[in-house]
Structure 1
Amino acid sequence: MAQHPLLHSLQWTTPEGHGCLERPPAEQVLSQFLQLFASRGASSDAKAGMIRDLLAILEAVDCQWLFGGCHPNAAPTLLRDMVVALSLYAAPPQQEPEGGGLPSGDPSYAAVASRAADVSLGFISIVAKVESAKGLERLGTAVVGPILRQVAGPLYLFAVTHVAERLWTTPKTRRMAQELLDGLLRASDCRSVPEFLRGAREDETGWLAVVMQCLKPELTKDTWQRSPATKHVFSCTLQHVTRPWLGPHLEKVLPPSLLLSDDYREENKILGVQCLHHIIRNVPAADLCQYNRAQVVYHALFNHLYSKEARLLQVVLLCLLDLLPILEKALQRLPHNPQLVTPSDEVLQLVLTHMESEHRLPLRRVYARNLPAFVERLGIQIARHLKRLQRVIVGYLEVSDGPDETARLATLETLKHTIQHAWPRMSCRLAVLLKALLRMMLDVATDRSLTPEPVKAELLQKATECLILLDHASHGQVKVLLQGVRRSCQDETLKECLRKVEEEPVKSISTP
């Protein structure tokens, strides 16, 4: 048998006349491997050779040698140290926080993929031996349990780092990382990644605490930006854990989410806000409000409302819509808190201020798309904002925003909810709103652009519904003001819409 350099250095020999290897203790092999691998004089080629030799060793031995021949406490610790060392060896190259990362064609990424493929083979072999050891009477859970407690976290982090499509992964490394992850799930008696992290039942702890402990050094203010994989691994892990399992880990997942959302790069802000949103939706309100956590999250999100990035604003507004009920309910319980201006009022006031002066279509669509939900959130209290809201509605109905008419359709939905909630205040605003609706309906009916017919039909239908609601809110005044308009109208489509308004009997508005 040919002697590999590592085998030779470990004095792993084949005596003459014997067909099997004379094996030194696993503790000695792992310890010497780590010593050689960590030596300063070891080049990349030398380390690659050591890993190939390690693979040969792992293929030649059984789980009894790997787990059963070592000191009870030494085997798990040495395996963990080896997994961590190899994971660092195959980790994506670090980047400077100010530099924005490495270019996609950087040769360092190709080297990472090559290293990850070799390391994955070794990890897959280790996990397979852990799985085999579970069925052996001499090993069983008494040995497998301590082994998993040491290596499950680092192995999971390595697999998640390389399983998704990233700059440092290839189809081959992603396939091998998935194979490693599947093997780890089988060895842990789990059917899925969420079950692995949270436990199969509510009373089980799962591996999330172990994973977060392994990830903690990489999630500090000074370190998280250096590794391009850290934020993705954290976000992916967090998204797998839902209510009620996430609550006990709030202290571990909230600070990294706030760190991400506070970054200067848009993609990191979006990722951080998405993490915060997941936490808000899956952690009990009482835990969120304890120690003013909800207030901290609210101020972090509120600052993002000044952004001019449409993608960021979209996730921020959705997150705020879920946070505001939790925050305001907690504020209502405070003594001597009159709540004259609620956080919902603050958010809507700022949003309407930005909407009035906004001319960029992507931002107009985002604002308009989320405005109906804020009107529903405030209910009758929307009356506080009617003056500014009216200006926004009129302005957004005047301008077409493209074939899909996203902003106009959403604005009509906003007007509908506003009438339903604040109908006693509509009579004094009837002339302005009626004029804006009729002007928009005429523009749509006579439009000869590329706007699809279904979109035009939906616009006219929603505008007709708003006219009917205005008529109910004003006790039939819309019918009076529309007298003669239908007879002088030349467009048949618009005439049909006006006919529906005139024929609709006046009735009371039921607040939703």
Structure 2
Amino acid sequence: MELDSAREAPSREGSSLPGESSPSALGQDFSKILHRLTGQEARRGNNASGVPLKDLGALVEATECERLFEGTGAPPRGMCEILGQVAGALEKYAAPPKEEEGRGDGHPAVAEKAAEVGVLFLKLLEKVEAAKSSGVCPAWKTGLRHLAGPIYIFSITHSLEQPWTSPRSQDVAREVLRLLLQVTECGSVAGFLRGENEDEKGRFALILGLLKPDLNKESWKHNPAIKHVFSWTLQHVTRPWLNQHLERILPPSLLISDDYQTENKILGVQCLHHIVLNVPAADLLQCNRAQVIYHAIFNHLYTPEHHLIQAVLLCLLDLFPVLEKALHWKGNRARPTTHCDEVLQLILTHMESEHRLLLRRTYARNLPAFVERLGILTVRHLRRLERVIIGYLEVYDGPEEEARLKILETLKLLMQHTWPRISCRLVVLLKVLLKLICDVARDPNLTPEPVKSALLQEATDCLILLDHCSQGQVKGLLSKILQSCEDSKVVTCIRKVQQASEDAPSDGT
């Protein structure tokens, strides 16, 4: 552990072995403060644990920047390493407590400590900026290299809105991040991580190295901020810079997604989704990584959490093209079933029996993408899709009618891709569409007018497509309804269908 080595630093600095140069007095002062920061009293949150911060602040303010990075009688590298250890200890000191041990009344104390530590980091960065501007202390680059990682982790930990932060700690952390980017001459966090220029090495590998000890199976829950820092950092690095770090980012993402808490599952799936989007398919197919991701998130589809289902389906839809690159279809045989078929089959099974509105909307929201993805191969699922479409169109979905609107979009895509198989379903689909139009037209006040208009327009479009698929049979059947229908909205929809049929080419579809 880095802190273990940091705790041993004072004893090493305080020793004077034969043949070794004695350490500087300044280095000894920093080492003593480091020992106090990482000692038992500080780790237990003793009331006196804030004293090292005051002493450190006074020491940094009283030390000129040239002496801070050059040291007195100590090699610049040794002094800069001590500063890096102090920065790492400060970041750990301000970190939120372990989730099982953390109590709600302890969060204000964490935010207060974070604000104090943030002020110290601002002082250190101002010293770096002063040394950089003076031009007489080239060792500031070495010092910044040791300081940048812990300071970045601290700023991300406390700049986002979390239970352990307060408005003041967030403001201080954001100012620390702003000054860090200024000192490193980076225009954005992405530039800081990947490098502003092609020939410049970014700090993403450095940050991953600092996070690694806290991102294994035994320790990743000791600090509840680590998962957020990892996820936030990961999503700021895109292609083509991400694939070179694949071996270091994939295991933590899988670990977080495999947790029992829904919040962590969603966070892990979002990390995996970012990897799928920003790593070339060839790299994902090596060593069956894409299959590993698929199996890791497929089982989440059995959970009843709609937010998790939404994240998983979005990830899977972008993963399918990668998985299908490994499939080879020979024209003289039937096309093999794909992972998309497997997922759609499971979704339709759940949709048929689902009664919770949030889950119904989540499934309906993503169903058009699956039909679009499979295209003509959707005929494999036609019977089940028909049952789901009919069932969902018959049920009121609340004022926004999101589920029914998405189901109508699905029906339109289904008819466009599988039109030769639609005519035999003419009567069933015509009945359900007409019933929907009548229900919406007669709805007095439950649904807002814009939503009603959207439903009627989508249903009318479906009737027009159904008429094309059945070679004009819908037009003939609807002409009889006009003679007895008195509802103006229903009549308007029917006339739109007839007009579209007359304007369509004589060969139908």
Q: TM-score, normalised by structure 1?
A: 0.90
Cα shift at 1:192: 1.2
Listed as ranges, the matches of 1:251-330 within 5 Å are 251-330=247-326
The CA RMSD over aligned residues, in Å, is: 2.1
SS of the equivalent of 2:440 reads helix
SS of the equivalent of 1:260 reads helix
Residue in 2 that maps onto 1:234? 230
Q: Percent identity at matched positions?
A: 55
Residue in 2 that maps onto 1:145? 141
What CA deviation, in whole Å up to 9, does each residue of 1:367-421 have, x standing for no partner?
1111011100000111111110000001111001011111110000000000000
Cα shift at 1:44: 2.5
Contact residue 261 and residue 273 of structure 1 kept, 8 A: yes
Residue in 2 that maps onto 1:438? 434
- Name the amino acid aligned to 1:59: E
Residue in 2 that maps onto 1:86? 90
Cα shift at 1:509: 6.7
SS of the equivalent of 1:448 reads coil
Contact residue 33 and residue 55 of structure 2 kept, 8 A: no
Residue in 1 that maps onto 2:5? none
Distance 2:126 2:222 in 1: 32
Label 1:203 to 1:468 Cα distance change in 2 as closer, same or farther (>3 A): farther
What CA deviation, in whole Å up to 9, does each residue of 1:167-208 have, x standing for no partner?
111111111111111111122111111110111134433111
Cα shift at 1:235: 1.1
Contact residue 27 and residue 71 of structure 1 kept, 8 A: no
Distance 2:306 2:377 in 1: 27
Contact residue 37 and residue 93 of structure 2 kept, 8 A: no
What CA deviation, in whole Å up to 9, does each residue of 1:289-348 have, x standing for no partner?
1111111111112111111111111111111111111111223389x9975211111011
State which of 102, 126, 134 in structure 1 corresponds to 2:124. 126
Label 1:288 to 1:204 Cα distance change in 2 as closer, same or farther (>3 A): farther
Contact residue 331 and residue 337 of structure 1 kept, 8 A: no
Residue in 1 that maps onto 2:113? 115
Contact residue 423 and residue 473 of structure 1 kept, 8 A: yes
SS of the equivalent of 2:201 reads coil
What CA deviation, in whole Å up to 9, does each residue of 1:251-296 have, x standing for no partner?
1111111111111111111111111111111111111111111111
Query: Which shows bigger deviation, 402-411 or 223-232?
Result: 223-232
Long gaps (5+) in structure 2: 1-23
State which of 478, 481, 486 in structure 2 corresponds to 1:482. 478
Contact residue 289 and residue 327 of structure 1 kept, 8 A: yes
State which of 73, 77, 99 in structure 2 corresponds to 1:73. 77
Q: TM-score, normalised by structure 2?
A: 0.90
Cα shift at 1:491: 0.6
- Name the amino acid aligned to 2:150: P
Residue in 2 that maps onto 1:400? 396
Label 1:254 to 1:427 Cα distance change in 2 as closer, same or farther (>3 A): same
Distance 2:260 2:338 in 1: 29
- Name the amino acid aligned to 2:89: A
Distance 2:190 2:423 in 1: 54
- For the pair 1:423 / 2:419, whether they are aligned, the reply is yes
Distance 2:381 2:40 in 1: 68
Contact residue 469 and residue 509 of structure 1 kept, 8 A: no
Residue in 2 that maps onto 1:61? 63
Residue in 2 that maps onto 1:31? 31
Residue in 2 that maps onto 1:13? none
State which of 377, 380, 386 in structure 2 corresponds to 1:384. 380
Distance 2:399 2:33 in 1: 64
- Name the amino acid aligned to 2:91: S
Distance 1:404 1:34 in 2: 58
Residue in 1 that maps onto 2:12? none
SS of the equivalent of 2:197 reads coil
Label 1:202 to 1:284 Cα distance change in 2 as closer, same or farther (>3 A): farther
- For the pair 1:155 / 2:151, whether they are aligned, the reply is yes
Cα shift at 1:47: 2.8
Residue in 1 that maps onto 2:174? 178
Residue in 1 that maps onto 2:6? none
Contact residue 398 and residue 436 of structure 1 kept, 8 A: yes
Label 1:199 to 1:46 Cα distance change in 2 as closer, same or farther (>3 A): same
Contact residue 58 and residue 126 of structure 1 kept, 8 A: yes
Contact residue 332 and residue 339 of structure 1 kept, 8 A: no
